[in-house]
Chains A and B, each alone.
Chain A
Amino acid sequence: MAAETVGSIPLPRKRERSELMAQRLRAVRWFLLPMMIALAVVAGWPLLRSIWFSFTDAKLNSLYSAEWIGFGNYLRWQTLSTGAIRWRGVLVDPDWWNAVWNTVRFALTSVFFEALLGMLVALVLNAEFKGRGLVRAAILIPWAIPTIVSAKMWSWMLNDQFGIINDLLLKLHLISEKIAWTASPDTSMLAVLVVDIWKTTPFMALLILAGLQVIPKDIYEAAKVDGVHPVKVFFRVTLPLVRPALMVAIIFRLLDAMRIFDLIYVLTPNSKATKTMSVISQENLFQFDNFAEGSAQSTLLFLIIAIFTTLYIWLGRVNFDGGRE
Chain B
Amino acid sequence: MQIKALVAGLLAGVSIAAAANAADLSIVLGDTGSGLQFLQSQVDRYMAANPEDKVTIVPMPSSTTDQFGQYRLWLAAGNTDIDVYTTDVIWAPQLADQFVDLTDAMKDIVGDYFPAIIESQTANGKLVALPSFTDAPALFYRKDLLEKYNKPVPTTWDEMAATAKEIMDGERAAGNADMWGFVFQGNAYEGLTCDALEWVKSSGGGQIIEADGTISINNPKAAAAIERAKGWVGTISPPGVLTYQEEEARGVWQLGNAVFMRNWPYAYGLGGADDSPIKGKFDVTTLPAATADDHSAATLGGWNLAVSKYSKNPDAAIRLVRFLSSADEQKRRAIEQTNLPTRIATYDDPDVAAAAPIIPRWKEVFQNAVPRPSAPAGSKYNEVSSLFWTAVHETMSGNGSAADNLAGLEADLTDLMAK
Q: In the complex, are the beta carbons of B238 and A180 less than 8 A apart? A: yes
Q: Does B220 contact A (CB under 8 A)?
A: no
Question: Nearest Cβ distance between residue A162 and chain B, in whole angstroms?
Answer: 7
CA of A225 to CA of B57 in the docked complex: distance in angstroms? Answer: 69
With A159-B240, A161-B257, A180-B240 given, is the CB distance from A272 to B383 under 8 Å?
no
Q: In the complex, are the beta carbons of A184 and B242 less than 8 A apart? A: yes
Q: In the complex, are the beta carbons of B398 and A289 less than 8 A apart? A: no
Question: Nearest Cβ distance between residue B188 and chain A, in whole angstroms?
Answer: 4
Q: In the complex, are the beta carbons of A184 and B379 less than 8 A apart? A: no
Q: Decide if the interface of chain A is mainly helix, strand, loop or mixed.
A: loop
A residues within 8 A CB of B186? 183
Q: In the complex, are the beta carbons of A161 and B72 less than 8 A apart? A: no
Q: In the complex, are the beta carbons of A288 and B382 less than 8 A apart? A: yes
Question: Nearest Cβ distance between residue B280 and chain A, in whole angstroms?
Answer: 23
Q: In the complex, are the beta carbons of A161 and B238 less than 8 A apart? A: yes
B residues within 8 A CB of A272? 390, 393-394, 399
Q: In the complex, are the beta carbons of B187 and A270 less than 8 A apart? A: yes
Q: Does B231 contact A (CB under 8 A)?
A: no
Size class of the B contact interface (CB-based, 8 Å): 35 or more
Q: Does A41 contact B (CB under 8 A)?
A: no
Q: Does B119 contact A (CB under 8 A)?
A: no
Q: In the complex, are the beta carbons of A161 and B178 less than 8 A apart? A: yes
Q: In the complex, are the beta carbons of A160 and B97 less than 8 A apart? A: no
Q: Does A182 contact B (CB under 8 A)?
A: yes
Q: In the complex, are the beta carbons of A183 and B239 less than 8 A apart? A: yes
Question: Nearest Cβ distance between residue B68 and chain A, in whole angstroms?
Answer: 7
How many A-B residue pairs have C-beta atoms within 8 angstroms? Tell me.
90
Question: Nearest Cβ distance between residue A186 and chain B, in whole angstroms?
Answer: 9
Size class of the A contact interface (CB-based, 8 Å): 20 to 34
Q: Does B76 contact A (CB under 8 A)?
A: yes
Q: In the complex, are the beta carbons of A287 and B68 less than 8 A apart? A: yes
With A160-B239, A178-B238, A180-B240 given, is the CB distance from A286 to B397 under 8 Å?
no
Q: In the complex, are the beta carbons of A183 and B386 less than 8 A apart? A: no
User: Which chain B residue has the least Cβ–Cβ distance from A60?
Assistant: B76
With A161-B178, A162-B251, A185-B397 given, is the CB distance from A286 to B239 under 8 Å?
no
With A162-B251, A270-B187, A272-B390 given, is the CB distance from A288 to B242 under 8 Å?
no
Question: Nearest Cβ distance between residue A50 and chain B, in whole angstroms?
Answer: 14
Q: Does A126 contact B (CB under 8 A)?
A: no
Q: In the complex, are the beta carbons of B386 and A287 less than 8 A apart? A: yes
Which residues of B382-400 are within 8 A (CB) of A?
382-383, 386, 389-390, 393-394, 397-399
A contact set with B: CB distance below 8 Å: 60-61, 63, 159-162, 178-180, 182-185, 268-272, 282-283, 286-290
